[in-house]
Amino acid sequence: MAALRARRTLPKLADAGAPLLVVEDLRTYFKLEGATVKAVDGISFRLDDGESLGIVGESGCGKTTAALSLIRLLPANAWVAGGSVRLYGIDLMTKTEETIRRYRWREISLVFQGAMNALNPVQRIEDQIAEPIVERLGKEHDEAVARAGDLLELVGIPRARGRAYPHQLSGGMRQRAMIAMALACDPAIVIGDEPTTALDVMVQAQILSLLERLRRELGLSLILITHDLSVVAETCDRVLVMYAGRVAEEGPVERVFAAPRHPYTRLLMGAFPDIASGRRTLEVIPGTPPDLRNPPPGCRFAPRCPAAMDICREMVPPEVRFDDGVRVACHLLPPGSPGSVLATDGADTGSMASAAARPAAAGTQDGQVRSSAEGSR
Ligand SMILES: Nc1ncnc2c1ncn2[C@@H]1O[C@H](COP(=O)(O)OP(=O)(O)OP(=O)(O)O)[C@@H](O)[C@H]1O
Ligand SMILES: [Mg+2]
């Protein structure tokens, strides 16, 4: 399979020593009926080469918006209001639309929910996969079709089926074809936004194991957005728990799932069926996520949090990093909590060093101007 991995050439301006992807304080807002929806409001994370990051959180918490912001594939009423997205050290947010287009598919590609229905019904599968290879990589048509055949085989579709039109393939096969298309230009990062939601359970499992295999064999880095925590537990290295446009908790999957620290992570896990434990009653998280046109001040989870204190309703909790690589934004775990590590300015102190390095800054959002020292009790 290694032959399929076209030799990765870094973009011209790449810093070879920089991490693959570093997102810092990303903010993406929508204009909606005169109001501003703060769908993504200051999220930071890092993705290293070959790593897979799961993004979880209830519906409407900004997962898709965050993913689309990375390659600025946003609806017309949305804009990136701040922050940076650095790919190999190159800040994509400062790029023009024309330049960023060169990075889509070529560096970061996206497989979205129901993507299989986005295939062109009147074009043969192999030609659709060949198209970006011709357009983005400048290959001849015949060579591109040959590579499309290789990619189809890679995702488990016989090469000859490439002659088929989309309606002649099953849903699972079409989603595989979309994955082949996402791989066409040999991107560094593939984002799967609920890539299996529209499929039956067996096919879901097959597609997920396909993604996992591709990651291993091609050395891909993966961002997987899903509601299925067990999928994250099985396939991801790190997990980012989003709530109402912000990061509640982020860290290595085994650490976060074994000992969730944010009350939201705990409740989210309690709301998920755990077949192994045979538990039948699921805990429901009372209430609903806030209206992001007018989110509550302080911690956005406070109105639903069983452990909320007065400070939670007043001040945005700073993100505190722990020595096991987990980052948590919760007033129950203020800076200086056991196991937390002091802020440093090092960019190489594990994922999210930068966010953890600025707890005071995180605590001054939404006009809640206070120092982190005041915030810690
Ligand atoms: N085109 C739009 N115009 C205005 N608001 C939008 C638009 N798209 C999304 N939003 C709002 O942005 C917020 C985040 O939405 P987003 O789709 O990113 O959430 P999500 O976490 O992906 O949810 P889901 O799990 O349902 O896919 C929501 O409050 C949503 O209502
Ligand atoms: Mg979504």
Q: What separation in Å is there between the alpha carbon of 193 and the centre of ligand 2? A: 7
Q: Looking at per-residue confidence, does 346 or 262 come out higher?
A: 262
Tokens 């302080």 found at: 298
Q: Looking at per-residue confidence, does 264 or 195 come out higher?
A: 264
Q: Is residue 182 part of a domain?
A: yes
Q: Taking residues 90-117, what's their average pLDDT?
A: 88
Tokens 């056991």 found at: 338
Query: pLDDT class for 272, splitting at 50, 70, 90?
Result: confident
Query: pLDDT class for 2, splitting at 50, 70, 90?
Result: very low
Hey, what amino acid is at 330?
C
Ramachandran angles phi, psi of 129, nearest 5°: -75, -35
State residue 280's pLDDT score.
56
Ligand 1 site, residue 43, Cβ cutoff 6 A: no
Question: What is the number of domains present in the chain?
Answer: 1
Ligand 1 site, residue 61, Cβ cutoff 6 A: yes
Q: Is residue 173 part of a domain?
A: yes
How far is Cα 214 from Cα 198, in angstroms, rounded to an integer? 21
Q: What separation in Å is there between the alpha carbon of 271 and the centre of ligand 1? A: 21
How far is Cα 369 from Cα 208, in angstroms, rounded to an integer? 44
State residue 249's pLDDT score.
98
Asked if residue 282 has pLDDT above 50, the reply is yes
What H or E segment, with its residue span, contains residue 100?
A: helix 97-103
Asked if residue 271 has pLDDT above 90, the reply is no
With beta carbons less than 8 A apart as the criterion, state whether 110 and 73 touch: yes
| Non-local CB neighbours of 193 within 8 Å, separated by 6+ positions | 63, 64, 67, 110, 111, 112, 113, 225
| Non-local CB neighbours of 154 within 8 Å, separated by 6+ positions | 1, 4, 180, 183, 214
Hey, what amino acid is at 128?
Q
Q: What separation in Å is there between the alpha carbon of 272 and the centre of ligand 2? A: 18
**Average pLDDT over the chain, rounded to whole?**
86
State residue 372's pLDDT score.
32
pLDDT tens per residue across span 154-185: 999 999 999 999 999 988 899 889 999 999 99
- Exposure of 214 by Cβ count < 10 A (0-12 exposed, 13-18 middle, 19+ buried)? buried
Query: pLDDT class for 364, splitting at 50, 70, 90?
Result: very low
Using the atom order of ligand 1, give the atom closest to the CA of residue 58: 25
Least-confidence region, from 114-123, 297-306, 354-363: 354-363
Asked if residue 139 has pLDDT above 50, the reply is yes
Q: Taking residues 257-285, what's their average pLDDT?
A: 79
State residue 346's pLDDT score.
38
pLDDT tens per residue across span 312-358: 999 999 999 999 999 999 999 999 999 999 754 433 333 443 333 33
Domain range for residue 138? Answer: 116-186
Ligand 1 site, residue 35, Cβ cutoff 6 A: no
Do you know the residue count of the chain? Answer: 377
Sign of CA dihedral 341, 252, 306, 277: negative
Beta strands in 244-329 (DSSP E): 246-252, 319-321, 327-329
Residue nearest to atom 3 of ligand 1 (CA): 30
Query: pLDDT class for 369, splitting at 50, 70, 90?
Result: very low
Residue nearest to atom 29 of ligand 1 (CA): 60
Query: pLDDT class for 279, splitting at 50, 70, 90?
Result: low
How far is Cα 294 from Cα 303, in angstroms, rounded to an integer? 13
Q: Is residue 299 part of a domain?
A: no
Please name the residue ranges forming H helices in 110-228.
125-137, 141-154, 171-183, 201-218
Least-confidence region, from 59-73, 103-117, 287-301, 329-343: 103-117
Q: Is residue 152 part of a domain?
A: yes
With beta carbons less than 8 A apart as the criterion, state whether 144 and 133 touch: yes
pLDDT tens per residue across span 217-238: 888 999 999 988 988 998 999 9
How far is Cα 376 from Cα 293, in angstroms, rounded to an integer? 28
State residue 1's pLDDT score.
44
Query: pLDDT class for 201, splitting at 50, 70, 90?
Result: confident
Asked if residue 66 has pLDDT above 80, the reply is yes
State residue 366's pLDDT score.
38
Q: Would you state the structure tokens that stand for residue 124, as one six-digit string?
A: 């043969």
Query: pLDDT class for 92, splitting at 50, 70, 90?
Result: very high
